[in-house]
Chain A
Amino acid sequence: MDPRGVDLGTALGPLELKNPVIAASGTFGYGREYSSIVPPGSLGGIVVKGISLEPKAGNPPPRIVETPSGMLNAIGLANIGVEAFIEEKLPWLRSLDTKVFVNIYGHRLEEYRAVASAFKGLEGVDALEVNISCPNVDKGGMAFGTDPGMAARVTEAVLSSTDKPVIVKLTPNVTDITEIAKAVEAAGAHGLSLINTIAGMAVDVETRMPRLANVWGGLSGPAIRPVAVYMVYRVVRSVKIPVIGIGGILEARDALEFLISGARAVQVGTANFVNPKATLEIIQGLRDYCARKGIAKLSQIIGTLET
């Protein structure tokens, strides 16, 4: 079988993707940074860096530190704000032949509403991905995504302010991720993406200082992949809406772990830093795998885990 003949198409509810490989938020800038190496049109989608209502400068340095097979980051959600994003970044994104997901976040329900409504009717934005891992300033800084009720309210707030499909990105820093997933589904989300980074910390024993100025950060990279695959496996069995798998995918075999476990698409994050061509190599690797297995459509392997 010719790998070129394999149909990699996948659907996320109303969204039809040409292939299941999406560049993850915060690892692909606003899409342009890697465009000389990765033609955006070759990807299933791009999730642009998290956007908030006001511009945000981010955390003081050091913001990143490498750990065994992973990295901790505390960038602090630095971004140019929704107004500048729409004016400066969206026109170029609009020209791309790929699905554009805009990742949004806030620290209050009204902020989520305001950011979401800024994209109402705007061409070039195919869906919103909602980061619910942020602290809720009205609830003592507890992350929205750690409580089913609060996660549902954010989802409703965004849904009532937009005409776009809404994907909610789940944090793994919870006791039972399926409880959050079910609450978000019941609130009307079109899909889920998981996992966001795992909270972590590293200490410089010479200076006895945390290695991140923010003290703690989010762990990503291949170190977290088994945790992510397990959470996707569990969430897929608890909800009916499509799930996007994220966590330490470096190559096609890693993406396949998520797809076989039931994810309809995957996001590639930290791998972009390690190998800017990672997304392209994963797409080719998926074709080769399907061809080798005699599978004409990639969708035929989604959720085929043998247990």
Chain B
Amino acid sequence: MRVDLVKAHIAANGSVAKDTYLMELRLETEEFLAAPGQFVMLRILDTTDPLLRRAFSICSLIKPNVIQIMYRVVGKGTRLMKDMKEEETLELLGPLGNGFQGPERGKKAVLVSGGIGVAPLFFLASRLKPHDLKFIAGYGSKEDVVPPGLLGLEEGSVLFATEDGSCGYHGLVTELFEAELNKTLSRQLQVYCCGPWEMLKKLAHICYEYDLDCQVSLESAMACGVGACQGCAVKASASYPPDYFHVCSHGPVFSSSDIDWEG
């Protein structure tokens, strides 16, 4: 797999929901060979604070060398990013990590996101046929909801759950997911999810109970993104000999059964 270290020129950068931004980057490479679930590491140039690159899922690949990333403003790095203007430049390392697999022929994809975890699932959804997928997105409240139309999905193609009930199902996305499962007789499903740890843990448990294959995309603080620093460790379930996986190089996408959710 080829990893590029290239200049990334900002083509667009704007708010799409509360504290949530979509950034379009034109890369100085002819073709960026990225797959859904892979990520990039961005460096804000000419400063040592923030020092390290920040990891972002690829949200879409709109031209061979133009990608979009979606980010939530959570700290110093993302605060600086949200104020960056068109034609400003970041440095990008990627594509990194291993993306989503499948779904196998005949299986329907069920995509479940929590908050900003929606980003890599937008990319995955863009590569699947609309009638082969069900997309369930959970948010805290209505103002957090990212309109699917912004990413080229049909409005109405995504089911929403909000914790305060201000949009769609009133409750947790995991509850809506289970309710949807109970409405469907078919168990020919492949589940893909990304979101906070507790949500993924719950989904992993539900998928275990229903005997469904589940792939999770994990988030972790990381320094290098290529497996050198071993900073982004996540505990492997007991059946796997290495005690820790590295989110960057073994993941970020894992089979939910490979992870020790108590770890």
A residues in contact (CB < 8 Å) with B? 26-29, 33-34, 36-37, 57-66, 68-71, 73, 75, 78, 221-222, 250, 270, 272-277
Contacts and interface: CB of A to CB of B under 8 A. Distances in A.
B223 A71 contact: yes
Nearest to A77: B230
Interface stretch (B42-50, B62-70, B159-167): B42-50
Interface string B95-129: 00000000000000000000000000000000000
A37 B229 contact: no
B51 A75 contact: no
Given A37-B3, A276-B93, A61 B233 contact: yes
A75 B231 contact: yes
A272 B229 CA distance: 10
18 contacts: A27-B228, A29-B226, A33-B228, A33-B249, A37-B5, A57-B242, A61-B233, A62-B221, A64-B223, A66-B51, A66-B221, A68-B49, A69-B48, A73-B229, A78-B233, A272-B228, A276-B93, A277-B5
A52 to B, nearest CB: 14
A131 to B, nearest CB: 15
Given A273-B223, A277-B5, A64 B48 contact: no
B221 A64 contact: yes
Interface of B: 2-3, 5, 43, 48-53, 91, 93, 220-224, 226-235, 242-244, 249, 263
For the complex of A and B, list the 6 residue pairs with the smallest distance between their C-beta atoms, beginning with the closest: A57-B243, A64-B231, A29-B228, A273-B223, A69-B48, A33-B228
A272 B52 CA distance: 10
A61 B222 CA distance: 11
Contact of A36 (B3, B53, B234): B3
A274 B228 CA distance: 12
Nearest to B247: A61
B51 A34 contact: no
B227 A222 contact: no
B191 to A, nearest CB: 24
A59 B244 CA distance: 9
B7 to A, nearest CB: 12
Contacts of B224: 27, 33, 272-273, 276
Contacts of A33: 224, 226-228, 249
A65 B235 contact: no
A65 B43 contact: no
Nearest to A70: B51
Contacts of A222: 48, 51
A37 B91 CA distance: 14
A218 to B, nearest CB: 12
Contact of B230 (A62, A71, A78, A277): A78
A70 B263 CA distance: 27
A128 B52 CA distance: 29
A250 B249 CA distance: 24
B173 to A, nearest CB: 24
Nearest to A221: B51
Nearest to B263: A60
A68 B243 CA distance: 31
B2 A250 contact: no
Contact of B43 (A28, A60, A275): A275
Contacts of A29: 226-228
A58 B233 contact: yes
B28 to A, nearest CB: 14
Contacts of B53: 273-274
A10 B221 CA distance: 37
A27 B228 CA distance: 6
B52 A273 contact: yes
B43 A75 contact: no
A243 B222 CA distance: 31
